[in-house]
């Protein structure tokens, strides 16, 4: 086949777009056999504090958006709870005490479980399909969270994204580059055994601080396979 | 009309430039050779004028401070905080005595000193430009005396006083280097609390990662080392103890390929050399206070609770060899402490079939890379399962379970025995299939510690064992 110079720019544009959107397109959902076989039903869940961090990328590199990241984390937690309630009739219970009322030990326990999940997450992300084999577990240490007795599962939320400055947007239009996006990693973990019951990684292109509808749609899609009540 | 098209060669060239630009290893920043620093710089960069970019950075790091605290990454222990603050305050340079007026501490614009312990078993330390100095529990547990701690604090405080973070941030923005940080951190960030710290810092204040993970520029690091000597001498800490810290940092208990934070400043060997050379030019008179500040016992007495907490953190972070190392130091220091002996037992039990030390000889870079790749893929349980399939792994497990059992039993015979030793024995026996003994130990634990935070977990194990 003869290569046409005329088609080079469009081929390049296709390759660039495909490369940029690849992480977004790779999203999927993976269920533990206990969930897919309906051996385990989720009725009540607890969402641990989400850690979603975004940056503002400009022509001089990324800048932190600490306050916006905190607000977005809270918004993602709420959106997950809303989607689970409306689509799957799963109730979100209040989480473990992280305030000073619970004392340092309560805070440390949550921090240590979150750290344990941060250890496990890269392994899950490396071979997401192994969730279907029931390979990943956090162990019975999750019981140390002392959650409500009716809690069936714990939800861990991580994520990252970027918002572009107007200068960077213009630059991207002219030269190309990663667009504004939000990419989430959500795992539902058995509240008693610590087994990873579901892993999903919804993502969307767009300003993560304002795209409320896109967030909701991405989450609905992310939990599509999860059996409801 | 003929449509315009890009020549293929231009496109290829453009792509090559893009790839080259995004793959420059950040470590190259630290290797830049520049002119030597001034001989005795003033303690504070007086000429520094705050710009909008600096104030924005300050605002972000204030949020970073709050986030570390909120997320349970900071140790909330009043005694340790007071101890660190006391040492930090001693190191702060004083204004000169004029007309017999008591010298006051230097007041630095936009700096409020805070000395905090990060609940992180990985040895590291870093400073934020607002005056927050973080030192990990892993580094504190590694040290032998207060002077070594003072050396680290003095070094980090110099970064703040000389406004190194702001200088570095401005420089990074000009060089666009921070653009590479995200990719680099994505590739190398470890898990656990260290990983969380890096991940938060990356997004909130990328410069922190640039500066602390990859080091400031070589000159700024050298300046911090140089100033630290002056600060230590004036606060009556023997300055050569910094060399001791550097030597401790070169211990690679876990065989980690990527050096982080404090231990990645100019190559440790090089730092040791110029410290020795810097010290050689000064005649430091050793005072009785300096001798006192070098005492190991005094430091260990102060740090014992933190060192215990660090063993638990190391086990939680699957840093089992470090846990054994730190627990053994505790047992050597205070062998009659039931808690210390219990922690040694926990460390050996969780070490399982792994070797106590990675290898008799230091690992090559290639071997460390392989190890890092393996860690990325395997969970600790899978690693154990694979090792138990080998004769060496089985032998290690036999040795370690015996060691653990003897420590647990010893912990129960000492004064004020910790009830957790029963829990540990229960877990050990359960793993060995000695279910009735495990059940008895768990029941004893629940009876002795009815309000323990992990009661529910143990209760569930009891129920499971009763059913079998």
Percent of chain B whose pLDDT exceeds 70: 74
B318: chain A residues, CB-CB within 8 Å = 119
Q: What is the DSSP letter of B415?
A: S
Give the pLDDT confidence score for residue B191 in this predicted structure: 56
- The Cα–Cα gap between A140 and B464 comes to 12
The tens digit of pLDDT for each residue in B285-342 reads 788 888 888 889 999 999 999 999 999 999 999 999 999 999 999 999 999 999 999 9
Nearest-Cα distance to chain B for A227, in Å, is: 27
Determine the average pLDDT of the residues in B188-208: 58
- Whose CA is closest to B406, among B349, B364, B360? B349
Q: Looking at the complex, does the CB of residue A148 fall below 8 Å from at least one CB of chain B? A: no
Report all structural domains of chain A as residue ranges with CATH numbers, in order of start: 27-222 (3.30.160)
Nearest to B191 among A118, A127, A160 (CB): A118
Q: Which of B97-106, B166-175, B408-417 has the least mean pLDDT?
A: B97-106
Q: What does the alpha-carbon distance between residue B124 and residue B117 come to, in Å, rounded to a whole number? A: 10
Q: How far apart are alpha carbons B253 and B251 in whole angstroms?
A: 6
For chain A, how far is it from start to end, CA to CA, in angstroms? 55
- Test the B interface: residue of A55, A119, A122 with most B CBs within 10 Å: A119
Taking CB atoms and an 8 Å limit, are A105 and B453 in contact across chains?
Answer: yes
B205: closest CA of chain A, how far (Å): 5
A residues 63-102 near B, CB within 8 Å?
63-67, 69-70, 98
- Of residues B3 and B375, the one with the higher pLDDT is B375
Q: Does B184 have pLDDT greater than 70?
A: no
Given a cut of 90, is residue B255 above it in pLDDT?
no
pLDDT at residue B31 in the model: 33
Residues of A in contact with B181 (CB under 8 A): 62
- Beta carbons of B75 and B119 less than 8 angstroms apart: yes
C-alpha B93 chain-centroid distance: 26
φ and ψ at residue B145, rounded to 5 degrees:
-160, 175
Q: Which segments of B216-295 does DSSP mark as H helices, in order?
A: 218-234, 241-249, 268-280, 288-293
**If you measure CA to CA, which chain A residue comes closest to B175?**
A60
Question: Residue B198 belongs to what H/E stretch?
Answer: helix B192-204
User: C-alpha distances in angstroms, B9 versus A17, A173, B6, B15, B286?
Assistant: 20, 22, 8, 10, 69
Tell me the shortest Cα–Cα distance from A83 to chain B, in angstroms: 26
Residue B158 has pLDDT above 80, yes or no: yes
Q: Measured between beta carbons, which residues in chain A are less than 8 angstroms from residue B5?
A: 5-6, 8-9
Banded pLDDT at B180 (limits 50, 70, 90): very low
Which pLDDT value is given to residue B43? 67
Asked if A126 and B454 come within 8 Å (Cβ–Cβ), the reply is no
Give the whole-angstrom CA distance, residue A140 versus residue A125: 22
Which secondary structure element, helix H or strand E, spans residue B356, and what is its range? Answer: none
Domains of chain B: 15-293 (no CATH), 320-467 (1.25.40.10)
Q: Which one, of A113, A107, A191, A44, lies nearest residue B456 by Cα?
A: A191
The per-residue pLDDT for B167 is 85
Q: What is the 3-state secondary structure (H, E, C) of chain A?
A: CCCCHHHHHHHHHHHHHHHHHHHHHCCCEEECHHHHCCCCCCCEEEECCCEEEEEEEECCEEEECHHHHHHHHHHHHHHHHHHHHHHHCCEEECCCCCCHHHHHHHHHHHHHHHHHHHHHHHHHHHCHHHHHHCCCECCHHHHHHCCCCCCCEEEEEEEEEEEECHHHHHHHHHHCCCCCEEEEEEEEEECCCCEEEEEECCEEECCCCCCHHHHHHHHHHHCCCCCCC
Place of tokens 């036999």: B398
- Terminus-to-terminus CA distance in chain B, angstroms? 84
CB contact under 8 A, B56 and A63: yes
The parts of chain A modelled with pLDDT lower than 70 are 1-27, 97-102
pLDDT at residue B147, rounded to an integer: 95
pLDDT score at B32: 35
Contact state of B192 with A111 under an 8 Å Cβ cutoff: no
pLDDT, mean of residues B414-421:
97
- pLDDT over 90 (residue B119): yes
Q: Chain A: nearest CA to B76, how far in angstroms?
A: 7
Of the candidates B250, B275, B253, the residue with the CA atom closest to the CA atom of residue B263: B250
Q: What angle do CA B453, B455, B459 make, to 5 degrees?
A: 160
Chain A residues closer than 8 Å to B456 by CB: 143-144, 146
Q: How far apart are CA B320 and CA B338, in angstroms?
A: 20
- Whether A173 has its CB under 8 Å from any CB of chain B: the answer is no
Q: Is B173–A61 a contact, with Cβ atoms under 8 angstroms apart?
A: yes
How many angstroms separate the CA of residue A133 from the nearest CA in chain B? 14
Q: Dihedral through CA A101, CA A104, CA A110, CA A111, nearest 10?
A: 140
Q: What is the pLDDT of residue B41?
A: 58
Contacts of A127 in chain B (CB under 8 A): 377
Mean pLDDT of B73-83: 94
Q: Give the model's pLDDT for residue B229.
A: 87
Mean pLDDT of B201-210: 57
Q: Which residue of A has its CA nearest to B454?
A: A144
- State the average pLDDT over residues B110-133: 93
Per-residue model confidence (pLDDT) at position B218: 72
Could you count the other beta carbons within 10 Å of the beta carbon of residue A9?
A: 15
A60, B173 contact by CB (below 8 A): yes
Residue B84 binned pLDDT confidence (cut-offs 50, 70, 90)? very high
Count the residues in chain B: 468
Mean pLDDT of B251-264: 59
The residue to which tokens 């449509």 are assigned: B3
State the alpha helices, DSSP H only, in B103-191: 137-142, 146-161, 164-175, 181-188
User: Considering just the CA atoms, what is the radius of gyration of chain A in Å?
Assistant: 20
Q: Which of B351, B379, B313 is nearest to A120 (CA)?
A: B379
Could you tell me the two tokens for B463? 């129920």
Residues of A in contact with B200 (CB under 8 A): 51, 53
Q: CA B306, CA B140: separation in Å to the nearest integer?
A: 8
Instruction: Supply the pLDDT for residue B12.
Output: 37
Chain mean position to CA B247 = 15
Residue B183: its pLDDT value, please? Answer: 45
| Rounded Cα–Cα distance for residues B340 and A107 (Å) | 24
Name the least confident of A32-36, A111-115, B215-219, B391-395: B215-219
Give the residue, B6 or B201, on which the prediction is more confident: B201
- Cα dist. A131→A46, A199, A200, B385 in Å? 20, 7, 10, 19
Question: Would you put residue B215 in left (φ > 0), alpha (ψ -120 to 50) or beta?
Answer: left
- Range scoring the smallest mean pLDDT among B126-130, B197-201, B413-417: B197-201
Percent of chain B with pLDDT over 90: 48
Mean pLDDT: which of B158-172, B256-270, B331-345 is highest? B331-345
pLDDT, residue B370, reads 81
pLDDT at A64: 78
Mean pLDDT of all residues in chain B?
A: 80
Q: What is the pLDDT of residue A226?
A: 94
SS3 of residue B238 by DSSP: coil
Q: What is the pLDDT of residue B188?
A: 46
- Report helix, strand or coil for B48: coil
| B127, β-bridge pairs | B133
Comparison of pLDDT for A112 and B46, the residue scoring more = A112
Residue that wins the pLDDT comparison between B417 and B109: B417
Chain B residues inside the 8 Å CB shell of A135: 379
Does B203 sit within 8 Å of A114, measured CB to CB? no
* Section B105-134 average pLDDT: 90
The pLDDT of B52-80, averaged and rounded, is 91
């Amino acid at each position: 086949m003869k290569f046409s110079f005329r088609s080079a720019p469009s081929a390049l544009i296709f390759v660039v777009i495909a490369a940029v959107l690849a992480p977004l397109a790779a999203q999927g959902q993976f269920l533990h056999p206990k969930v897919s076989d309906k051996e385990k039903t989720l009725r009540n869940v607890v969402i641990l504090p989400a850690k979603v961090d975004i940056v503002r990328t400009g022509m001089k590199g990324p800048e932190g958006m600490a306050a916006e990241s905190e607000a977005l984390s809270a918004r993602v937690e709420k959106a997950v709870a809303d989607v689970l309630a409306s689509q799957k009739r799963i109730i979100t219970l209040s989480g473990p005490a992280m305030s000073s009322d619970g004392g340092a030990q309560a805070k440390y326990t949550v921090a240590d479980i979150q750290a344990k999940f941060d250890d496990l997450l890269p392994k899950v992300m490396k071979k997401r399909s192994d969730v279907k084999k029931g390979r990943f577990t956090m162990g019975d240490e999750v019981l140390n969270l002392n959650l409500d007795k009716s809690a069936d599962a714990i939800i861990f939320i991580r994520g990252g994204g970027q918002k572009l400055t107007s200068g960077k947007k213009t630059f991207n239009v002219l030269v190309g580059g990663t667009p504004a996006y939000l990419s989430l990693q959500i795992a539902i973990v058995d509240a008693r055994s610590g087994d990873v019951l579901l892993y999903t990684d919804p993502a969307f292109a767009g300003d993560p601080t304002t795209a409320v509808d896109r967030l909701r749609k991405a989450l609905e899609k992310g939990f599509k396979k999860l059996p409801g009540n | 009309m003929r449509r315009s098209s890009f020549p293929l060669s231009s496109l290829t060239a453009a792509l090559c430039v893009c790839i080259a630009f995004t793959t420059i290893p950040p470590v190259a920043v630290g290797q830049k050779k520049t002119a030597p620093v001034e001989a005795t710089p003033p303690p504070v960069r007086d000429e520094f004028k705050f710009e909008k970019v600096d104030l924005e950075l300050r605002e972000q790091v204030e949020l970073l401070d709050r986030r570390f605290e909120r997320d349970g990454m900071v140790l909330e222990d009043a005694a340790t905080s007071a101890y660190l603050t006391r040492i930090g305050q001693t190191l702060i340079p004083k204004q000169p005595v004029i007309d017999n007026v008591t010298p006051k501490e230097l007041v630095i614009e936009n700096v409020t000193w805070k000395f905090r312990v990060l609940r992180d078993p990985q040895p590291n330390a870093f400073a934020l430009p607002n005056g927050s100095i973080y030192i990990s529990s892993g580094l504190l547990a590694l040290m032998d005396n207060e002077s070594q701690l003072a050396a680290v604090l003095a070094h980090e405080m110099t970064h703040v006083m000389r406004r190194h973070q702001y200088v570095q941030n401005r420089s990074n923005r000009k060089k666009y280097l921070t653009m590479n940080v995200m990719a680099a951190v994505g590739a190398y960030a470890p898990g656990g609390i260290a990983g969380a710290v890096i991940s938060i810092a990356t997004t909130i204040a990328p410069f922190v990662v640039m500066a602390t993970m990859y080091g400031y520029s070589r000159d700024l690091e050298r300046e911090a080392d140089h100033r630290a000597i002056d600060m230590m001498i004036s606060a009556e800490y023997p300055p050569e103890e910094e060399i001791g810290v550097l030597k401790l940092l070169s211990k690679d208990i876990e065989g980690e390929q990527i050096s982080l934070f404090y231990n990645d400043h100019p190559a440790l060997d090089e730092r040791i050399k110029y410290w020795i050379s810097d010290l050689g030019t000064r005649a430091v008179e050793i005072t009785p206070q300096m001798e006192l500040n070098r005492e190991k016992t005094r430091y260990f007495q102060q740090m014992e609770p933190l060192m215990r907490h660090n063993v638990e953190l190391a086990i939680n972070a699957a840093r089992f060899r470090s846990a054994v190392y730190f627990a053994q130091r505790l047992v050597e220091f205070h062998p009659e402490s039931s808690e210390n002996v219990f922690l040694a037992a926990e460390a050996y039990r969780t070490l399982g079939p792994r070797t106590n030390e990675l290898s008799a000889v230091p690992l090559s870079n290639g071997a460390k890379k392989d190890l890092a790749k393996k860690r990325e893929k395997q969970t600790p349980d899978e690693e154990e399962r694979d090792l138990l399939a080998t004769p060496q792994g089985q032998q290690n497990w036999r040795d370690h379970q015996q060691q653990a059992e003897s420590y647990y039993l010893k912990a129960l015979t000492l004064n004020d025995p910790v009830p957790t030793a029963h829990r540990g024995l229960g877990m050990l026996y359960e793993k060995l299939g000695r279910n009735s003994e495990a059940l008895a130990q768990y029941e004893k634990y629940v009876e002795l510690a009815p309000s323990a935070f992990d009661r529910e977990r143990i209760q569930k194990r009891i129920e499971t064992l009763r059913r079998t």
